Structure 1
Amino acid sequence: METAARADQQLAGRRILVTGGTRGIGRGIALAAARAGAHVVTCYRTPGDAVATLEHELAQTPGKHHVLRADVADESDVELLATACDTSLGGLDAVINNAGAFQPKPYQELDSAEWAATLQGNLTASHLVTRRTLPLLGSGASIVNIGSTVAFIGMDGGVHYTAVKSALVGMTRSLARELGPRGIRVNTLSPGRIATEALDELPQEVAERQRGIFSSFTALGRLGSVDEIAQVVLFLTSDHAAYITGQNIHVDGCV
């Protein structure tokens, strides 16, 4: 019982920034980190019910938690976000670069604006957040970039997304080498198909068809859960992963 209690608080007192934390994987990470004892700052781009419900859940969880509006693809917003982390928490022990999005589009229909937006919203956003928060990180800190298994298996209609997620892996590897002497670890976590609320929001027939198709691609015969991704992130930011850096960890049920 005592061991379980200690495990539940594996991030006690840690200060963590999770970008894009109001929905999906980001929300799961923010809540899991708070429940593991961390102080959590997270951000969102679009107001809505998800923001209010996250604020409510975090308010019920011990710790200093802040939900801020910020577009991490915008350098001025990133500056405000990092300043808030410094002011409210006095620094950071982990940065989780989760925010990102794209619209599927056949390659021949992909115009320059869509390519640039995908690059800015995924890869450049992670760069902006990482660079600005580095002064807030000390020895023992951890950076986790959320990638995607599609970077290694490909995706019809996702050339732009696949390209930026592949680039994120290279960025992670080089940052790990550069920041290693400072005691800062950098890893990528690449999820496979995860059951989030986005799937639940589809018409039931469509959602069930997608669940069946994507489940059949995995060795485990099912979709992953948000909490299964969050628990690996918690591990990577904890002392249990003190000798893990520069890695790309697939959490995909073996696709």
Structure 2
Amino acid sequence: MGLQGRKIAITGAGRGLGAALAIIAADHGMVPLLLGRTPGTLTATTQIIEGRTGRRPEVIACDLAHLASVAEAADHIAARHGNLDILVNSGSQWAGGAFEALTDEKIAAIIDSTVTGTMALTRRLLPVLRARPHADLHTVVSMSGLPYARMRGSSAAFVAAKAAQSGFVQALTEELIGTSVRVTSVYPGLIEDVLPTEAAWDEERGANDMLSDRNVVEAILYILKQPSNVAIRSLVIERARTEFLG
């Protein structure tokens, strides 16, 4: 399935992997909708896309940790973008360190953004996706959500949130089999944040190097452009000399 002209909503599009995905999606002729909670970072992504493609993507405020914000964003998309083809759940809040060092508020923000907010946005946009002849629901989970992977610096709250997100994706895959919505996911290991505007994006990496956002973005686009009869349900992406399994 080609990528040209497909409309893609991306959460967490203001920084890191979400921003990189939005930029490269636009380079491929897709129509990105940028969702995020920080106006300044979203503006920066918008300016990069406009400078590279001449097209200015729409920015939609969406704080996944606050359900009212999620509802407002979803209602806007449903009303204005009934031709949405793809939802990529990329946004979540991360925290490392000891569990007892986290505040209750931080724990809630991690869980709310990664689990509750993601599920709420997905639920609200499912009718839009199901109305399309072919649609994709893609979630960026994390190796932190896999039962056999070590924490490697992530907090217990983040690991728990990603495990819940992984369970949600698996359950939704089963529920939506036979519909027009294809459910897929990636489970990246540790990623170095690199934007397509940086020289490091094009640098060749050796076996000892970390994954970069480019590795994950290319994997996501590979999954999304599969023909409609093919579903790559989940893909674990880790560097050859892994940190997570040793």
1:99-153 CA-to-partner distances (Å, cap 9, x unmatched) read: 1112223134445443332211111121011101101103421111111112332
Q: In structure 2, how many angstroms separate the alpha carbons of the residues matched to 1:189 and 1:157?
A: 18
Partner of 1:150: 144
Of 160, 165, 168 in structure 2, the residue corresponding to residue 171 of structure 1 is: 168
Identity of aligned residues (%): 24
Of 58, 77, 85 in structure 2, the residue corresponding to residue 85 of structure 1 is: 77
SS in 2 for 1:144: strand
Is the 2:10–2:87 contact (alpha carbons within 8 Å) kept by the matching residues of 1? yes
Partner of 1:248: 234
TM-score, structure 2 as length reference: 0.82
Partner of 1:117: 109
- Matching of residues 51-200 of structure 1 within 5 Å: 51-60=42-51, 61=53, 65-110=57-102, 112-137=104-129, 138-152=132-146, 153-155=149-151, 156=153, 158-196=155-193
The one-letter code of the counterpart of 1:175 is L
1:143-166 CA-to-partner distances (Å, cap 9, x unmatched) read: 111111123322145111111112
Is the 1:85–1:91 contact (alpha carbons within 8 Å) kept by the matching residues of 2? no
Is the 1:107–1:157 contact (alpha carbons within 8 Å) kept by the matching residues of 2? no
Partner of 1:19: 11
Residue 40 of structure 1 and its aligned partner are, at CA, apart by 0.9
Is the 2:26–2:32 contact (alpha carbons within 8 Å) kept by the matching residues of 1? yes
SS in 2 for 1:181: coil
1:14-40 CA-to-partner distances (Å, cap 9, x unmatched) read: 111000101100001111111111111
The one-letter code of the counterpart of 1:251 is I
1:166-213 CA-to-partner distances (Å, cap 9, x unmatched) read: 221211111111112212111221111111169xxxxxxxxxxxxxxx
SS in 2 for 1:114: helix
Where in structure 1 are there 5+ consecutive unaligned residues?
Answer: 1-6, 199-214
Is the 2:64–2:112 contact (alpha carbons within 8 Å) kept by the matching residues of 1? no
Count, aligned residues? 226
Q: In structure 2, how many angstroms separate the alpha carbons of the residues matched to 1:112 and 1:183?
A: 40
Partner of 2:202: none
TM-score, structure 1 as length reference: 0.79
Residue 42 of structure 1 and its aligned partner are, at CA, apart by 1.0
- Does residue 220 of structure 2 align to residue 224 of structure 1? no
Q: In structure 2, how many angstroms separate the alpha carbons of the residues matched to 1:227 and 1:143?
A: 20
- Matching of residues 31-42 of structure 1 within 5 Å: 31-42=23-34
Partner of 1:236: 223
Q: Note the aligned Cα RMSD (angstroms).
A: 2.5
The one-letter code of the counterpart of 1:135 is P
Q: Which has the higher helix share?
A: 1
Partner of 1:44: 36
The one-letter code of the counterpart of 1:248 is S
Residues 1:132 and 1:106: Cα distance change in structure 2 (over 3 Å)? same
The one-letter code of the counterpart of 1:146 is V
Q: Higher mean Cα deviation, 128-137 or 162-171?
A: 162-171
Is the 1:146–1:188 contact (alpha carbons within 8 Å) kept by the matching residues of 2? yes
